[in-house]
Amino acid sequence: MVIPRMPRREFLARMVGAATGAIAALLGIPAAVFVIGPSQQRTSSDWVPVGPIEEFPLDMPKLVNATVSKQRGWVVEEQELSVFVSTADGSDFVAMSDKCTHLACRVRYVEEIEEADGPGFFCPCHNGIFDADGGIVGGPIPRPLDRLDTKVEEGQLFVREL
Ligand code: FES
């Protein structure tokens, strides 16, 4: 068996090329992960305080506003969060977005809506009607009002987007 001989110059060129490729891979992959990684990250929303629980009246939704910082990749943006909070007993709370599920207009609470047989939420943009629990009553709305998580800590109510 004859092993072909490779000229020294060609052998060295191949070895330098292989070493250069290995070094580029060792440095390049972590650098790419460092640069691209954050842009692929999604941050989950944090709990947002919306007020002491005694400030929420019984059986009457209260609209609260809060500013939420959200990070998307490298960008941190501030968003306004508007939520209707209601409670029947002062200990269990329901939080619903005030954005209509049709085209995101702001809904408003109305104490008496004929179609809802009582109180509900009305969207003035296209006459969308939700009942007091955010359920669909009428108009072009595709789904009930979006709900948020709630929790109480040390007498403070917190909400979190799902
Ligand atoms: S945006 Fe509310 S009904 Fe269209």
Percent of the chain at pLDDT > 90 equals 62
Residues 88 and 15 in one domain: no
Domain of 12 in residue numbering reads as 1-40
Residue 68 CA to ligand 1 centre (angstroms): 24
Asked whether residue 33 falls in the same domain as residue 103, the answer is: no
Separation of alpha carbons 120 and 129, rounded Å: 7
Q: What is the pLDDT of residues 50-81, one digit of tens each?
A: 999 999 999 899 999 988 888 877 888 888 89
The pLDDT score that the predictor gives to residue 45 is: 61
Residues 6+ apart with CB under 8 A from 162: 146, 147, 148, 149
Ligand 1: distance of its center to the CA of 22 in Å? 58
What is the average per-residue pLDDT within 104-118? Answer: 94
Which residues are CB-neighbours of 38 under 8 A, at least 6 positions away?
73, 74
Nearest atom of ligand 1 to the alpha carbon of 103: 1
Residue 103 and residue 98: Cα distance in Å, rounded? Answer: 12
Mutation pick for ligand 1 pocket among 97, 98, 101, 103 (CB with most ligand atoms within 8 Å)? 103
104 and 52 in a common domain: yes
**Residue 99 CA, ligand 1 centroid: distance in Å:** 9
Q: Compute the distance between CA of residue 160 and CA of residue 51 in angstroms, rounded to an integer.
A: 13
Q: Are residues 54 and 128 in the same domain?
A: yes
Joined tokens for residue 153: 């800590």
Over residues 135-152, the pLDDT tens digits come to 999 999 999 999 999 999
* C-alpha count within 13 angstroms, C-beta hemisphere, residue 68: 22
* Percent of residues in the chain assigned helix, strand, coil, to nearest 5: 25, 45, 35
- Domains identified in the chain, total number: 2
Mean pLDDT, the chain, whole residue set:
90
Q: Are residues 112 and 157 in the same domain?
A: yes
Res. 44: pLDDT tops 60: no
